[in-house]
Amino acid sequence: MPDDLKMLIGGKWVDSVSGATFEATSPSTGEMIARVPEGAREDAQRAIAAANAAWRDWASRSAFERGSTMKRMAEIVGERRDDLARTLSLDQGKPLRAEAHDEVEELIAYFEMASADATRMEGLIPPSVDAGKRVFVYRVPRGVVGVISPWNWPYTMPGELLAPALAYGNAVVWVPAPSTSVCAVRLAQCIEDAGLPPGVFNMVTGPGPVVGDEIAANPGTHAVGFIGSIATGHRVAERAAGKELLLEMGGNGPLVILEDADLDAAVAGTLTACFLNAGQSCTAGERILVHESVHDAYVAKLRTAIDGEIRLGDPFDDATTMGPLNNSPVADKTEQHVADAVDRGAEVVVGGKRAPHLGSELFFEATVVDGVTDEMAIAREETFGPVVPVSTIRSEEEAVRIVNGSPYGLLSAVFTRDLRRGLRYAEAVRTGWVNVNEGTNYWESHLPFGGASGSASGVGRVGGRFSMERLTELKTVVVGLD
């Protein structure tokens, strides 16, 4: 029998006020796996009220006490790692052996980092113009932080916001993506079981345009952290006007392969860049720019590598390296982008279609599309599917122009044997992160991650202590000695 899940408000597991539910289904089979409360604005309002009643007490606790609670969360996740990984494969579609366990381990790292970072809210004692006064500048929590998270990494994406927000003394109201609500409930259970005071952590399931919009716009939230699409991120920013924002939005992961690149390394980097999580990553390689002198050799090596290393199939099969796409809109968009590219003159080298015989319409073949040009949707937009869109370039300078001509600015990568060229490229492109001789899906969870200023990829930085800039604020206190 499918589970009947609850949402967490004020320390209690509850249904929606309306009693409405929606079905959670497995992307690999289409079968219903749970019934989930369909939250309404009133549910989000109740959660915000509970958070406001709780946050001042939580903020007044010792940083070491809060850090200890974060440590306990990490331990609970570790104790439940197998169940969490299996839930991830069932609800999101990631291969259990190849990917799901890795995401759980990274979630543990986020809570462990937050445990340490809780004790690093250091301030300043700047001088006063008046010798009879002393100035203290503290870092203090924002208050109530609204968190809106996506379905592609349903543990680590919320984890990189929830863990530091709680560690720094904020209360949280979390709205997870509906299509991975089962994962969200399992994670919420881990957080709640660590012993937080009631109301410090709340989770409301339901449609983003309803409950997500409410936590963005409601005056009871003091900061909003969002990870997701550009269009939704812009809407969140509009609705949360005047609040502190931490927005991690889309990218198209331009990956540049210069004429002096190690092609074997570049191909290995491409496989991870384009097929990790079936391409459903904000840092996925969605624009592969290959120098004309190595183009043919690269494509040939890539085709051979895909045939030998990418296995599409049941997420619970140990041999599977790539599972289904998570939802129909993403599968539809992937199919449309490939078709548009072919209509405009590109060639499908490998794959290019769905594989419903594997269990559902959400399985999509590992695909290489060659001859991609600027006017194609696959070059201009986020595809978010398992596609390698290959374009030919003639120079390093052309690559930089293409990357900087994009509205995105999240992450890019370059392959070259000349580290001077790699550093020159890194300093020339306007992306928040650059990998040299690594694919675009390489990151480390303690490092600052976010979009370049002025790009469509967001504002602020997640990653270890770097989220402190957005999740806390400075308070200045002047004391007279006379």
pLDDT in 10s for each residue of the chain, 482 residues: 578 999 999 999 999 999 999 999 999 999 999 999 999 999 999 999 999 999 999 999 999 999 999 999 999 999 999 999 999 999 999 999 999 999 999 999 999 999 999 999 999 999 999 999 999 999 999 999 999 999 999 999 999 999 999 999 999 999 999 999 999 999 999 999 999 999 999 999 999 999 999 999 999 999 999 999 999 999 999 999 999 999 999 899 999 999 999 999 999 999 999 999 999 999 999 999 999 999 999 999 999 999 999 999 999 999 999 999 999 999 999 999 999 999 999 999 999 999 999 999 999 999 999 999 999 999 999 999 999 999 999 999 999 999 999 999 999 999 999 999 999 999 999 999 999 999 999 999 999 999 999 999 999 999 988 999 999 999 999 999 98
User: Half-sphere exposure of 408 toward its Cβ, with a 13 Å CA cutoff?
Assistant: 26
Cα separation, 38 vs 465, whole angstroms: 34
- C-alpha 68/C-alpha 171 separation (Å) is 16
Q: Which of 212, 211, 117 is CA-nearest to residue 165?
A: 117
Judgement on whether residues 230 and 267 belong to the same structural domain of the protein = no
User: Six-digit token pair at 248?
Assistant: 């991690």
- The verdict on 204 and 272 lying in the same domain is no
Q: Whole domain around residue 153: which residue ranges? A: 3-249+460-479
CA 450 from centre of chain = 10
The structural domain count of the chain equals 2
Shared domain for 378 and 243, answered yes or no, is no
Residues with a catalytic annotation lie at 248, 282
Sign of the four-CA dihedral 27, 31, 33, 37: positive
**Do residues 265 and 214 both lie within one domain?**
no
Written as one string, the DSSP assignment of 7-47 is EEETTEEE--TT--EEEEE-TTT--EEEEEE---HHHHHHH
- Burial (CB < 10 A; 0-12, 13-18, 19+), residue 256, is buried
Does residue 350 form part of some domain? yes
Same-domain pairing of 8 and 56: yes
* pTM listed for this prediction: 0.97
- Looking up residue 63, the CATH number of its domain turns out to be 3.40.605.10
Same domain for 259 and 219: no
139 and 236 part of one domain: yes
Beta carbons of 195 and 39 less than 8 angstroms apart: no
Tell me the CATH number at 329: 3.40.309.10
